[in-house]
Amino acid sequence: MKTYAFIIMKPDALERELVETISERFRNEGFSIEKIGYRNVDEQLIIAHYQEVIERFGESFKAAVISSYAGKGMIPILLSQEGPAAIANSRALTGTTDPSKADRGTIRGDYGYDTLEAANLENRSCNNLLHCSDSEASLREEAKLWFGEALDVAINLNAS
C-alpha cells in the first residue's frame, strides 16, 4: 500500500543549495517524488499556509512569516512511500522543529544551524530547512494550497 507525505523546501534550503541533498535523503529512505513544484511565495499564500499557527501566536508571528518567506522561492513536494506510515516516516526523517534540538541523523539535526530561541528574539521564522505535514488532513489542505489543485483524484489519496 502506497501512502503519501507533503514537504516544502524552505528558502534556507534553497539558499544553502541543499535541495538535492535533502531530496536524496528522502529517496534513500524509500520515498518517491510524486509531484514537485516551485512557488515564489506571496503574502496571501504564506498567511494561508500558517493560518492556524498565526491564530495561536498572533500578529507578531504573522509579521515574522511574511518577512521571512514573502518574495522568496519554496519547493513543495508530494512524496510517496510503500507502507502505511509515510507521514510519520517523513516527520521522523525531518527531525524536530528546532534544529538545535533535532537528533543527529535527521535532516534538521545534520544540516540545521538555527534555533527557535534566536528566531524568536529576532522576530523571524526559524531557518529549519523544510516544512513537513503532520496529518493526512494537513497533507490534503497544504498540497491543494501549494499545487493549486485537489490531488485526491490524481493520486487517489482515499486508497491510502
Give the per-residue pLDDT at 148. Answer: 85
Q: Which domain holds residue 113?
A: 2-159
Sequence letter at residue 13: A
12: its cell numbers: 534556507
In angstroms, rounded to a whole number, what is the distance separating the alpha carbons of residues 71 and 34? 26
- CATH for 56: 3.30.70.141
- Model pLDDT, residue 150: 61
* Burial group, residue 79, by CB count within 10 angstroms (0-12, 13-18, 19+): buried
Give the active site residue among 35, 49, 108, 131.
Answer: 131
Question: Structurally, how many domains does the chain consist of?
Answer: 1
**pLDDT value at 153 more than 50:** no
Q: Measure the CA–CA gap between 102 and 104, rounded to whole angstroms.
A: 7
CB atoms within 10 A of CB 68: 19
**pLDDT tens readout for residues 14-69:** 999 999 999 999 999 999 999 999 999 999 999 999 999 999 999 999 999 999 99
Q: Is 49 a catalytic residue?
A: no
Cβ of 135: how many Cβ atoms within 10 Å?
Answer: 9
pLDDT band at 139 (very low <50, low <70, confident <90, very high): very high
Task: State whether the Cα torsion 79-82-87-91 is positive or negative.
Answer: negative
Got the DSSP string for 113-160?
---HHHHHHTTS----SEEE--SHHHHHHHHHHHHSS--HHHHTGGG-
Distance from C-alpha of 14 to C-alpha of 129, rounded to nearest angstrom: 8
